[in-house]
Amino acid sequence: MGAEERRGGGGSRGKPGRGARPSARLSAYSKPPPPQLPERALRPPEQLPRRSRSRMVRGARQPQQPRSRLAPRLTGTVEKPPRKRKSRTEFALKEIMSSGGAEDDIPQGERKTVTDFCYLLDKSKQLFNGLRDLPQYGQKQWQSYFGRTFDVYTKLWKFQQQHRQVLDNRYGLKRWQIGEIASKIGQLYYHYYLRTSETSYLNEAFSFYSAIRQRSYYSQVNKEDRPELVVKKLRYYARFIVVCLLLNKMDVVKDLVKELSDEIEDYTHRFNTEDQVEWNLVLQEVAAFIEADPVMVLNDDNTIVITSNRLAETGAPLLEQGMIVGQLSLADALIIGNCNNQVKFSELTVDMFRMLQALEREPMNLASQMNKPGMQESADKPTRRENPHKYLLYKPTFSQLYTFLAASFKELPANSVLLIYLSATGVFPTGRSDSEGPYDFGGVLTNSNRDIINGDAIHKRNQSHKEMHCLHPGDLYPFTRKPLFIIVDSSNSVAYKNFTNLFGQPLVCLLSPTAYPKALQDQSQRGSLFTLFLNNPLMAFLFVSGLSSMRRGLWEKCQEYLRKINRDIAQLLTHSRSIDQAFLQFFGDEFLRLLLTRFIFCSATMRMHKIFRETRNYPESYPQLPRDETVENPHLQKHILELASILDVRNVFLENTIDDY
């Protein structure tokens, strides 16, 4: 296991006013137009954001789990730098002599152009490879390094544009080399998205990757007998797919998958490689990821409508006059995925992907936003709130999880909330315990590096001791000193119902059902139903109603009605006289408000559904919600029946629900 895997990835946040301003050097090269590419296609950053936000992290993998060596390179890490070699500059003039005649015949100006280009190329590679050594968390350590890297790549791009003819004739610059530079810039934007959670940078990464494809910069790679160049092309496709998935550009994803499949077939046919199985695994993962949604929305011509589940301007119910809520805002979120056999791609499970999008706003185009009238003067004053800072932890060990949790806790600003999302296999207590403390109910599983030799000893020890690789509710107690919002999607989520609020800070836990009815088709590999309700409640409602497709017109009608339901749920919560004040403390934040209203809609729907009849089929919460005023409120139940009537599925719900409790 390499250093990247052992360490994992992370993000950080540089706080405004504490030395996190953009680099002045970078702004001087903020708009380098690309050579022979559409002007819209390649844009360097207008400025570096002031706060660092997110990055993916990997935990140790289970030994029996197949994996692709490609995966780490698609997430928050960068490629391992090649073995130390002599600078390209040292060989540049020798190559010129061999291709362009005697060295003395080369004009001094052209000789200097090649030397300067080689220097910039070497420097850019050095800085890019150094990205993997940046601090995984912290406040501002990484920002200056990113600034220098963007700066050098901007100079490199402008330089090769201005001196293309000389570089073609004297250096032998090839199209795939130009594509490699553009690909690196696209990766910089993608890494910046992981660091900042600013979805606008995904659009910039997409522009670079898309332009490379449109200009066919890698088209000549297959003609060279160099498998390492073909692998660069394959990795470019895989990274492009990741960005398209995050932007919900599924039509482009399908085209890219087909092209990638053809490239892999040609690659394995031409070269006797050992990584064919790994690349085929990549194709299988992305194909399963695309088909994870259980319901299709169709146009009149039966083409699939791509729906976005990020927070739109009209997404969360507005706070009406008279609603008394807290002023807390969601600043940090840990999204943790450790479910066995769940569909994933690029170390991002379906549940993680859905929760990630539920905590982001719709992406904006940086250039178009900056070109709006008045935006230049107010560039330092965003017109809308930023996305919360996120760590994406895929199968982390306990120590990794606790490290990132502690980092988020340490850097949490005043009047802010830390959200923890746990999508993981349940760990149940072994044997009976005389006490009922925070370590006696089990919890959720974290990853482990278990030595096979000591496996039996560990197993025997676990029979009489607590599971050491379990995240128990008591493990989170130290972090309840600040406002904490927890979502647990697990077969043992109820373990977190036994919290004790020791420090009096706002604390809410939303807990998934621990089991689903057998009559409901098992969709666990394609993501949890509970998380689907929090991400796309209408799709989840259709699924439990037995529908697998819907016309766009009806979908939009139901979405509008669901927005009305959310507004009414918000009123029920804020007007309740017996609700715990912790819910209202969190209700002032748009993201948390939407999650709370969707949770209540989910709980009310399951309680009214005919096949959800056991207590373990229902979501729970800590503190408990007043049922008669929220999840079993007659007014809300009437709305759910009306929504079912619109969809002609009223027969799957109970009519006289109140009498059944």
Contact 592, 417 (CB under 8 A): yes
Run of H or E residues at 404: helix 398-411
Detail the DSSP E strand segments found in 11-159. Answer: 55-58
Give the residue from 17, 4, 24, 53 showing the smallest Cα distance to 195: 53
Q: Which residue has the higher pLDDT, 434 or 209?
A: 209
If DSSP codes are grouped into helix, strand and coil, which group holds residue 234? helix
**Residue 202 in this model has a pLDDT that exceeds 50:** yes
Question: Is there a contact between 422 and 534 (Cβ–Cβ < 8 Å)?
Answer: no
How confident is the model at residue 384, as a pLDDT? Answer: 52
Q: Is the pLDDT of residue 250 over 60?
A: yes
The pLDDT, as a whole number, for residue 478 is: 95
CA 525 distance to own-chain centroid: 18
Average pLDDT, the chain: 80
pLDDT at 99: 52
Contact 374, 381 (CB under 8 A): no
Most confident range (mean pLDDT) of 303-312, 354-363, 589-598 is 589-598
Phi, psi (deg, nearest 5) at residue 195: -80, -30
What confidence tens digit (pLDDT) does each residue in 295-322 have?
Answer: 999 998 888 988 888 888 777 777 776 6
Whether residue 421 is predicted with pLDDT greater than 50 in this model: the reply is yes
Q: Please name which of 124, 441, 74 lies closest in space to residue 237, comparing C-alpha atoms.
A: 74
pLDDT digits (tens, 9 = 90+) for 21-37: 333 233 323 333 333 33
The DSSP bridge partners found for residue 487 are: 421, 510
How far is residue 148 from each of residues 27, 128, 154, measured CA to CA in Å? 11, 10, 10
pLDDT of 11: 46
Q: Which CATH class for the 108-296 domain?
A: mainly alpha
Work out the angle at residue 475's Cα, subtended by the Cα atoms of residues 512 and 486, and round it to the nearest 5 degrees.
Answer: 35
pLDDT of residue 367: 45
DSSP 319: P
Q: Work out the average pLDDT over 148-161.
A: 92
pLDDT exceeds cutoff 70 at 603: yes
| Structure token digits, residue 451 | 């030595």
CA distance 198 to 179: 25
Options 3.40.50, 1.10.3470, 3.20.20, 3.30.70; which CATH number does 329-363+386-449+468-652 get?
Answer: 3.40.50
Cα 107 off chain centre by:
51
Mean pLDDT on 606-624: 94
Q: Average pLDDT in the 352-371 region? A: 74
Residue 225 has pLDDT above 70, yes or no: yes
User: Reduced to 3 states, what is the DSSP secondary structure of residue 421?
Assistant: strand
State yes or no: cis peptide before 623, omega within 30 of 0: yes
Q: What is the DSSP letter of 2?
A: -
The neighbouring-strand residues paired with 510 are 487, 621
Mean pLDDT along residues 563-578: 92
429-464 confidence digits (pLDDT tens): 876 666 678 888 899 999 986 533 333 334 434 556
Domains 108-296 and 329-363+386-449+468-652 share a fold: no
Name the more confident of 141 and 458.
141
Sheet with 416-424, strands from edge to edge, namely 55-58, 389-394, 329-338, 416-424, 484-489, 507-511, 620-622
φ/ψ region of 36 (left if φ > 0, alpha if ψ in -120 to 50, else beta) reads left
Residue among 8, 20, 19 nearest 386 (CA): 20
Q: CA 495 to CA 518: how far, in whole Å?
A: 23
pLDDT value, residue 440: 86
- pLDDT at 83 exceeding the cut of 70: no
* Rounded distance between C-alpha atoms, residue 97 and residue 171, angstroms: 10
Per domain, the residue ranges of the chain are: 108-296, 329-363+386-449+468-652
- Of the candidates 185, 189, 128, which has an alpha carbon nearest to the alpha carbon of residue 160? 185
Q: Label the pairing between strands 344-345 and 348-349.
A: antiparallel
What are the helix and strand counts (H, E) for the chain? 21, 14
- Confidence class for position 146, pLDDT limits 50, 70, 90: confident
Least confident of 76-85, 143-152, 243-252: 76-85
Q: Are 603 and 512 contacting, i.e. CB atoms less than 8 angstroms apart?
A: no
How far from each other are the two terminal CA atoms of the chain, in whole angstroms? 54
Percent over 90 (pLDDT), the chain: 52
216 φ, ψ to 5°? 55, 45
In the predicted structure, residue 207 carries a pLDDT above the cut 80 = yes
Q: What is the mean pLDDT of residues 236-247?
A: 94
pLDDT (0 to 100) of residue 313 = 74
143 phi and psi angles, rounded to 5 deg: -70, -40
Q: Is the pLDDT higher at 365 or at 209?
A: 209
What are the backbone dihedrals phi and psi of residue 273, each rounded to the nearest 5 degrees, phi first? -100, 160
Chain segment 377-394, per-residue pLDDT in tens: 333 444 456 899 899 999
Mean pLDDT of 177-188: 94
């390179």: which residue's tokens? Answer: 73
Tell me what pLDDT residue 448 has: 83
